[in-house]
Structure 1
């Protein structure tokens, strides 16, 4: 007879099984407004890394430049995608700091 942890929704559909891979956040940090990188030792041999960005978006969120994030081994890097705001008389989009959540699954 099989055993282990399983959770089901109200219709009896299996939602989570002990054999499923579940992500967990290992660290979170602010990007600031400059291109940079950070070493995250917790990513070493811990599984498949992922990131998620959180920001205080508002009505004018499309008028800001946000970072492009990459993960290589234990290094999380980010570089801002600078662009010109397309509505005159605006110029370059200001960079917006975000929270970068890094985890593994």
Structure 2
């Protein structure tokens, strides 16, 4: 059975056809600056992330270190690089939404 969303305008023209790869949110997790991972068998064929950060500006003399995301065989992993300056560098925190196609 086909799944997705198709929207037409008043003239019958397709304005959105999202029937090929429909996204499904599996879960969300609050990222606090620590490395971590989540596994789900439905992410084996691919997945997506949407990271909603708490803030966009760090110290003017330091850096804001954002998480790096990767998928491998149904496991989503996020890692943070090491701080260059313990005094001024900050880890980007926020909410991570993740799912599968």
The reply to whether TM is greater than 0.5 is yes
Aligned CA-pair RMSD? 3.1
TM-score of the superposition, structure 1-length normalised?
0.65
Q: Which has the larger radius of gyration?
A: 1
C-alpha contact 1:82 1:92 (8 A) present in aligned 2: no
1:81 alignment partner, SS class: coil
Match of 2:38 in 1: 38
Compared CA separation, residues 15 and 82, structure 1 to 2 (3 A): farther
CA apart distance, 1:95: 0.9
Unmatched 5+ residue regions in structure 1? none
CA apart distance, 1:23: 1.2
TM-score of the superposition, structure 2-length normalised?
0.67
Instruction: Point out 4+ residue stretches in structure 1 off by more than 4 angstroms.
Output: none
**Structure-1 separation of matches of 2:15 and 2:43:** 27
**Structure-2 separation of matches of 1:28 and 1:6:** 27
Per-residue deviation, residues 43-76 of structure 1 (Å, max 9, x unmatched): 25xx431112111234448842111011111211
Which of 89, 93, 96 is equivalent to 1:100? Answer: 96
* Larger strand proportion of the pair: 2
Unmatched 5+ residue regions in structure 2? none
